[in-house]
Chain A
Amino acid sequence: MNNPERVERFNLAERLAHWNHAISFCLLFITGAALVFRGWGGLLGPHGVRLARDIHHVLAIPFTFFTLLILLVGTRTTFFAWLKEILTWDKEDVRFLLLFPREFFGLKVKLPEQGKFNAGEKINSLLTIVGSLLMATTGWILLYRNSFSKAVLAWAYPLHDAGALLMGAVIVGHVYLSLLHPNSREAINGMLWGTVTTKFAREHHGRWYRQLMKQQEQRGREGRLTSLSAD
């Protein structure tokens, strides 16, 4: 697939992991909201709330286990690379964050060059990881309520709720930026089909794009060498 117009951003395993997490989270959020907001403000009767609860419990499994499983089994190297990158911060990242609100509200701004993941995406990744761990831990405590002391169980409620609301806020921003914001909505293609336009890669993740080109060049040279030696 050497389409000069597009570059690969996320492989199949990464995309499967993302959508597993995203869909299960959204459904967990919606069904969880039914439990915490009294059946979506009374829209659901007790049968609906009970159903929401059952669905919420079932979805805990893909949310807790499948994402990690897919990443570890299907794309181990890039998974660890991603983890490394989101934990690596420099001055450019901080500058990006300070300037980003202008970008968000459509004001003219020159943002510093970013790697594969910009600072905002790094924050999103970190919050998602921490939040997911928090939700999974507190969630399973609530599900296996009889195995924990009353004190542990009690505090699981506000923590689970806090994590949900925090992640909910993060998701709102994340969905907007990846789907709707005119400057960044090309990103969704990266997560749906795996590729983004070369233009998008160059303009939004310049440092990454250059690394990619260097790799491609290197492979090209090696390929010619091999084809030479094959004779």
Chain B
Amino acid sequence: MLNHKLSRRTFLKATAVTTGAMAALGAEGLSLESWQKAAAASPETIVPTICEMCGVKCGILAYVKNGRVVKIEGNPKHPFSNGRLCARGNAGIKTLYDPDRLRQPLKRVGEGKFVPISWEKAIAEIAAKLKELKGKYGPETLVWACHPELIAPWEKRFTEAFGSPNFTGHAPTCYSNRNVAYNVTYGTLPGVDYGNVKYYLSPGRNITEGINNAVVQKIVAARQNGAKLVALDPRLSNFAAWADEWIPLRPGTDGAFLLALIHVLIKENLYDETFVREKTVGFEELKAEVEKYTPEWAEKITGIKAATIVRIAREMAAARPAAVVDPAWHGGLGGMYHNGVQAGRAAACLNALLGNLGAKGGLTFSPGMNLAKEDKLPGPPLPKVTAKRWDGAGGEKWPLAKGLGLIQTLPEVVESGKPYPVKALIVSHMNPVRSCPDSQRFIATLKKLELVVAIDIQMSDTAYHAHYVLPESSYLERSDPFEVAGPTIALRQPVVTPLGDTKGEDEIIKELAEAVGIGEFFNFSLKEYNNTLLAPLGITHEQLEKEGVIKVETTPPKYDKLPTPSGKIELASELMRKAGGPAVPTWEPPLVQPDRSNFRLLHGHVAMHTHTSTQNNGWLHGLMPENELWIHPSRAKELGIKNGDLVEVESSVGRVRIKARVTEGIHPEAVFMAHGFGSMVPTQHLAYNRGANHSLLVPILTANFSGAAAQCEVLVKVKKVG
């Protein structure tokens, strides 16, 4: 403006315009203001539905105004949320309106290059390819991998109807050790009556960051009522910090600690004799085994003083039966280590010695609910699948891993072609490139497959290498099969119409089934599916649309006869014996041992993120845009590393760069980084390249008996680079 010669006319014009503008600014009825007033006055509808910002599936209420979701709150009627939501649940709007979300089906045309494709064409091409591959290699060439969500029964049904046995979950990267340990002991996986615990021992579980809304609410209340909470963890997680006592044991030694507790309980006669006599088998065998697992022995292994171990054992016994070792999920003994099954068995047996199954504040089974089975659905019964699983789960090599799968072995299977060629992969609600170990190898595997289809709401690292990316409608835009939540049934229903050309997975599966020639097995709508299975309870999908959450009749759980060979809790496990393992829990050291030149790499969760799925959410990204490497000050000093320095972390598998966080809150022999960072997808503008992906460092392993991925059995070197 200063460059122009200011003529009188221009000056007068400018003055007039400015004056006019200033007058308009002050005037009432300015279009923006009056629009805002009108918008504010429009009615608000409240739609009950279910959150999907993590796997817990809390009931929520979505407030809608002018066709936009303006607020999400917890549904007071839902037993998980009780009207409250965690940080992720509160951030749902930013995921719904994430500008980077998938808007339409995409077809891959080059590395990181996609072109839009219509649903009709995409489904037709995928179906044609599936049929071609089925013809060449048999239906078992298809693997459907997912993190099981509400739609999982449909995904399983599709896979089976297609003729493939290969419906595969994420279990080895999470909880396979735990499931095997409890399955062979209790016949099933028990839950915990968190609200009534008097003594709670967490073997590496981080309830307040690997956060479960319902559990946190209950455990906080229990603590207020005087419960003592103890955290076994090599790292001062937020849970360990908030708990009453932090036991900073050496990583991977939870088993030794727990076995020593059992030793003390037996030696000092503090266990529940009556319960053991009436409800368990194998006590004498257990007693003989733990003879050598003295607190002094455990001190040498765990680094925790013998006196502490003895004290904890006595405290637990004094609080029984409301004293419990959390079966947990992934931490400590759920899936992180090679010895996790043995450690899990020790925990399961310890719980039994405390006599807490079915007791207030102890282990619990779920109540029974009278739901109809899928055979009540219209259409022909599913064909019998004869082929063996691609990963051998439940077979000769992995008899105890039935239902768990070994997703992390996909690269080996595809590369070797054994047991048979796997050529097609459908992935939904899962990002195995970053959730499975050895990201680079998984990417290479995807490139070897002839058909990769990713179903997701955003471009995950896995979708980035898929042949077809099918955009699912987000949880606020779709319906799903109903949810069983404690003694209630809840429904996920659309709150707004889909923002893009996206579909619910029920639609995708139905259309794909039709195109592939198995449409007869999906001769029902989602509503009809729900109504069929809910019929015995006397409620309908339509009722749930109105009420959101409905309390239904349940039968109390039975604790008298367990689904084990003996019908009782098996301290000495027949199934383990049959599988060629020790019948009673034994001490196994971790697979790898760090020395002064390296560290064990640990990983875990944070309260504001969910795995690899929330790092592109505006609010959650703002709270934590990247992860850091936790390192003990003494080790950091040796390496010349100061807080905030850029460091390089290297394993036998790969290397990453990450900022260092020098903290006293971690065992000196370990380093830690939060899982979920280091996105490799440039179109995820907030998440891309922020922080580090630890899966680039983790080798592919399978733990004994469970096939767990044991992702903490990795040694890394750390050096300063910036």
**A residues in contact (CB < 8 Å) with B:** 45, 47, 51
A166 to B25, CA, bound (A): 35
Interface set, chain B 677-695, CB cutoff 8 A to A: none
When chains A and B are docked, how far (Å) is the Cα of A223 from the Cα of B178?
111
Contact of B22 with A51 in the complex, beta carbons under 8 Å: yes
Task: Give the contacts of B22-61 with A (CB-CB under 8 A).
Answer: 22, 25-26
The interface on chain B, measured as residues whose beta carbon lies within 8 A of the other chain's beta carbons, has a size of 3
Chain A residues closer than 8 Å to B22, beta-carbon distance: 47, 51
Instruction: List the 5 shortest-distance A-B pairs measured between CB atoms, nearest first.
Output: A47-B25, A47-B26, A45-B26, A51-B22, A47-B22
Q: Give the docked Cα–Cα distance between A47 and B33 (Å).
A: 14
Kindly list chain B residues whose C-beta atoms are within 8 Å of the C-beta of A45.
Answer: 26
5 contacts between A and B (CB under 8 A): A45-B26, A47-B22, A47-B25, A47-B26, A51-B22
Task: State in angstroms the CA–CA spacing of A47 and B22 once bound together.
Answer: 9
Majority secondary structure, A binding face:
helix
Minimal beta-carbon separation of B324 from chain A (angstroms): 49
CB distance from A51 to the nearest CB of B (A): 7
Set of chain B residues within 8 Å of A47, measured between Cβ atoms = 22, 25-26
A45–B26 CA distance with the chains assembled, in angstroms = 9
User: How far in angstroms is the closest Cβ of chain B from A47?
Assistant: 5
Determine the distance from Cα of A118 to Cα of B362 in the docked complex, in whole angstroms. Answer: 96
Min Cβ gap B26→A in Å is 6
User: Measured between C-beta atoms, what is the minimum distance from B49 to chain A in Å?
Assistant: 41
Question: Chain B: interface secondary structure?
Answer: helix
Cα A47 to Cα B26 with chains together (Å): 7
Which chain B residues in 1-33 approach chain A with CB under 8 Å? 22, 25-26
| Residues from chain B with Cβ under 8 Å of A51 in the complex | 22
Closest Cβ of chain A to B32, distance in Å, is 13
Task: Give Cα distance in the complex from A51 to B22, angstroms.
Answer: 9
Q: How far is the CB of A118 from chain B (nearest CB, A)?
A: 39
* B25 CB contacts on chain A under 8 angstroms: 47
Least CB distance from A45 to B in Å reads 7
Bound Cα distance A45, B22 (Å): 12
CB distance from B639 to the nearest CB of A (A): 33
With both beta carbons as reference points, the residue of chain B lying nearest to A51 in the complex is identified as: B22
Closest to A45 in B: B26
Residue of A nearest to B26 (CB): A47
A47 to B25 CA separation, bound complex (whole angstroms):
8
Residue numbers in A under 8 Å from B26 (CB-CB): 45, 47
Q: What's the nearest-Cβ distance from chain B to residue A20, in Å?
A: 15
**Chain B 185-218 against A: per-residue CB contact (8 Å), 1 yes, 0 no?**
0000000000000000000000000000000000
Q: How far is the CB of B235 from chain A (nearest CB, A)?
A: 35
Task: Report the separation of the CA atoms of residues A160 and B48 in the bound assembly, to the nearest whole angstrom.
Answer: 56
- Could you tell me the distance between the alpha carbons of A51 and B25 in the complex, rounded to whole angstroms? 11
Q: How far is A45 from B25 in the complex, measured between Cα atoms in Å?
A: 11
User: CA separation between A45 and B28, bound complex, in Å?
Assistant: 14
Residue of A nearest to B25 (CB): A47
Closest residue of chain A to B18, judged by CB?
Answer: A51
- Measured CB to CB, the closest approach of chain B to A8, in angstroms, equals 30
A150 to B487 CA separation, bound complex (whole angstroms): 55
Q: With both chains docked as a complex, state the minimum distance between the C-beta of B33 and any C-beta of chain A, in angstroms.
A: 12
Considering only residues 393-435 of chain B, those with a C-beta below 8 Å from chain A are none
Q: How far is the CB of A174 from chain B (nearest CB, A)?
A: 30
User: How many Å lie between the Cα of A63 and that of B415 in the bound state?
Assistant: 74
Closest beta carbon of chain B to A81's beta carbon, Å? 32
Q: In the complex, A99 Cα to B26 Cα: how many Å?
A: 53
How far does the Cβ of B29 sit from chain A's closest Cβ, in whole Å? 15
With CB as the reference atom, state the residue of chain A lying closest to B22: A51
B125, chain A: closest CB distance, angstroms: 53
Minimum CB distance partner of A50 in chain B: B25
| CB of B455 to closest CB in A, whole Å | 44
Question: A33 vs B26: C-alpha distance in the bound complex, in angstroms?
Answer: 21
In angstroms, Cα B445 to Cα A224, docked, is 103
A41 to chain B, nearest CB (A): 18
A170 to B25, CA, bound (A): 36
How far in angstroms is the closest Cβ of chain A from B437? Answer: 44
| Least CB distance, A58 to chain B, in whole angstroms | 12
Q: How far is the CA of A69 from the CA of B22 in the complex (A)?
A: 33
Min CB gap B228→A, angstroms: 43
- Nearest CB in chain A: distance from B22 CB, A: 7
Please give the distance in Å from A24's CB to the nearest CB on chain B.
Answer: 16
In the assembled complex, how far is the CB of residue A44 from the closest CB belonging to chain B, in whole angstroms? Answer: 11
Complex Cα gap A47–B21 (Å): 12
Chain A nearest CB from B634 CB (Å) reads: 34
CB distance from A42 to the nearest CB of B (A): 15
